[in-house]
Amino acid sequence: MTDIRWVVTTETNPWVDQAPVTPVSLTGIPSVILQLENPQQTIEGFGASFNEMGWDAISMLSQADQATVYSALFEPGVGLNFTNCRMPVGANDFSRDWYSYDETEGDFALSHFSIANDQETLIPFIREAKKRQPALKLWASPWSPPTWMKRNKHYAGIKPNPLMGAVENGLRDDQIQTEGTDTFILDEAHLTAYANYFGKFIDAYAAEGISIGMVMPQNEFNSAQVFPSCTWTSAGLSAFVKQLGPEMAKRNVEVFLGTLERPKESQAEAVLDDPEAGKYISGVGVQWAGKGAVAYLHRNRPDRRIYQSEQECGDGENNWRYARYAWSLMKHYMTNGANGYMYWNMALLEGGVSRWGWAQNSLVVVDPHAKTFRFSHEFQVLRHVSHFVQTGARAIPAFSFMGYENQIAFANPDGSIVLVVQNDMQTPMHYRAVVGDQVLEVDLPADSFSTFVVPA
pTM of the model: 0.98
pLDDT tens digit string along 197-251? 999 999 999 999 999 999 999 999 999 999 999 999 999 999 999 999 999 999 9
Quick one: which of 12, 36, 120, 7 has its CA closest to 393? 36
Map out the domains of the chain with their CATH numbers.
Answer: 5-39+396-454 (2.60.40.1180), 45-388 (3.20.20.80)
CA-CA distance, 449 to 447, in Å (whole number)? 7
- Residue 162's pLDDT is 81
Which residues, in sequence order, are bridge partners of residue 429? 444
- Residue 198's pLDDT is 99
Query: What letter represents residue 432's amino acid?
Result: R
- Residue 372 pLDDT greater than 80, yes or no: yes
pLDDT tens digit string along 376-426? 999 999 999 999 999 999 999 999 998 899 999 999 999 999 999 999 999
DSSP labels, 393-425: -EEE-EEE-TT---EEEEE-TTS-EEEEEEE-S
DSSP-derived letter for residue 173 is: G
pLDDT tens digit string along 118-174? 999 999 999 999 999 999 999 999 999 999 999 999 999 999 988 777 789 999 999
- Residue 313's pLDDT is 96
Strand order in the sheet with 429-435: 398-400, 32-34, 429-435, 438-444
Quick one: which of 149, 151, 154, 147 has its CA closest to 171? 154
Over residues 27-38, mean pLDDT: 96
Confidence of residue 102 (pLDDT cuts 50, 70, 90): very high
Please state the φ and ψ torsions of residue 352, each to the nearest 5 degrees: 60, 35
